[in-house]
Amino acid sequence: MWKKIIVLLAISSVAQSNELNELLDSSTNIVNQIETGIKLTGAATDYAHTGGGLSDGTLSSTAHISTEQVDAYNTALSNYSGYQPYGDVRQVLNDMAMESLEQMDTAIDTFTEVVVDMISVQQVAEKAETATTPKEQEELQTFVAQNEEMLKIEQQDVETYNQAVDDIETSANEASAYLAVANSEAADYLQQSIEDNNTTSADVNIFYDSNQQWVAMGYNTTRNLTAVYLNGNDAFGLDLYYSEADILALGTESEFYKTSPVAQGYNCFFNLDCE
């Protein structure tokens, strides 16, 4: 992962209103043709009985219903049979999680690049740790003196690093929160709340609040919130918060850490000297 990070995310989502629009358009197109046919028939019953006039003999084709129109209507009809007028809050949560994962991956790319730029500090730390004799300390002093400019860390890199770490944690927490709610009965609770308020999943505001430790849903027509706690303090039992020790232990076992220059050592990672 550290050598080359490639993330492919395929997100396919269609707004619920599309199914309605397609059904409306396709059905209206056929109704318009039928209306034209009715008008032509009405006119024919009039002038045919009175000898009052003629058409040019081609007007009937303007009322024809095409195969394409029928196919579009039947397809729209099939699609609408599974239409959810209130939307699908689970899909919204999953989409939000995917968006947060994309943001996390972008931040990881930035983090990886800036760590590689600053990682000479690890080489210095390793040399300093083993410089136990005057001779080794002399060798370290020579190394530092000869490479001081290259070994320095720029403040801009530090700021980039700090921001990337913040962004990774924020995006990871958001993604995990949205996925946890989407995969639980709490999503049914949010869906029912949407229906009870006669609105749609597209017209609510869903967000994760780290201070309140919840995923909340707000409405455009009221200041009320519907919330799902992530600390186990409600009936859904979503108790997600790890301790710092748990997080660091999990990270230590991760492939990302095990393949990093810190875990492998500077010479092993960069020079393949892994004795």
* Residues 183 and 228 placed together within one structural domain of the fold: yes
pLDDT at 244 over 80: yes
Q: Quick one: average pLDDT of 150-165?
A: 94
Q: Quick one: average pLDDT of 54-68?
A: 93
pLDDT at 187 over 90: yes
Q: Is residue 1 part of a domain?
A: no
pLDDT reported for residue 3: 47
* Residues 63 and 158 placed together within one structural domain of the fold: no
* Residues 70 and 174 placed together within one structural domain of the fold: no
User: Of 80, 109, 131, at which residue does a domain stop?
Assistant: 80
Q: Is residue 75 part of a domain?
A: yes
pLDDT at 177 over 80: yes
pLDDT reported for residue 169: 96
Confidence band, pLDDT 50/70/90 cuts, at residue 7? very low
Q: Is residue 114 part of a domain?
A: yes
Confidence band, pLDDT 50/70/90 cuts, at residue 227? very high
Q: Which of 191, 186, 220 is nearest to 203 (CA)?
A: 220
Confidence band, pLDDT 50/70/90 cuts, at residue 272? confident
Q: Quick one: average pLDDT of 78-98?
A: 88
Q: Quick one: average pLDDT of 98-107?
A: 97
* Residues 94 and 66 placed together within one structural domain of the fold: no
Q: What are phi and psi of 229, to 5 degrees?
A: -75, 145
Q: Is residue 3 part of a domain?
A: no
Confidence band, pLDDT 50/70/90 cuts, at residue 17? low
% of the chain exceeding 90 in pLDDT: 69
Q: Is residue 222 part of a domain?
A: yes
DSSP string, 143-176: HHHHHHHHH---HHHHHHHHHHHHHHHHHHHHHH
* Residues 162 and 214 placed together within one structural domain of the fold: yes
* Residues 141 and 208 placed together within one structural domain of the fold: yes
* Residues 93 and 63 placed together within one structural domain of the fold: no
* Residues 44 and 107 placed together within one structural domain of the fold: no
Mean pLDDT score across all residues of the chain: 89
pLDDT at 119 over 80: yes
Q: Quick one: average pLDDT of 241-247?
A: 95
User: Of 61, 80, 99, at which residue does a domain stop?
Assistant: 80
pLDDT at 12 over 90: no
* Residues 35 and 101 placed together within one structural domain of the fold: no
pLDDT reported for residue 152: 92
User: Of 42, 60, 80, at which residue does a domain stop?
Assistant: 80
Q: Say how many domains are in the chain.
A: 2
* Residues 158 and 175 placed together within one structural domain of the fold: yes
* Residues 161 and 29 placed together within one structural domain of the fold: no
Q: Is residue 191 part of a domain?
A: yes
Q: Quick one: average pLDDT of 180-188?
A: 96
Q: Which of 49, 164, 83 is nearest to 116 (CA)?
A: 164
* Residues 93 and 68 placed together within one structural domain of the fold: no
Confidence band, pLDDT 50/70/90 cuts, at residue 14? very low
pLDDT reported for residue 13: 34
C-alpha–C-alpha distance, residues 265 and 125, integer Å: 11
Give me the domain span that covers residue 144: 89-241
Q: Which of 94, 233, 238 is nearest to 175 (CA)?
A: 94
pLDDT digits (tens, 9 = 90+) for 31-52: 999 999 999 999 999 888 888 8
Q: Is residue 180 part of a domain?
A: yes
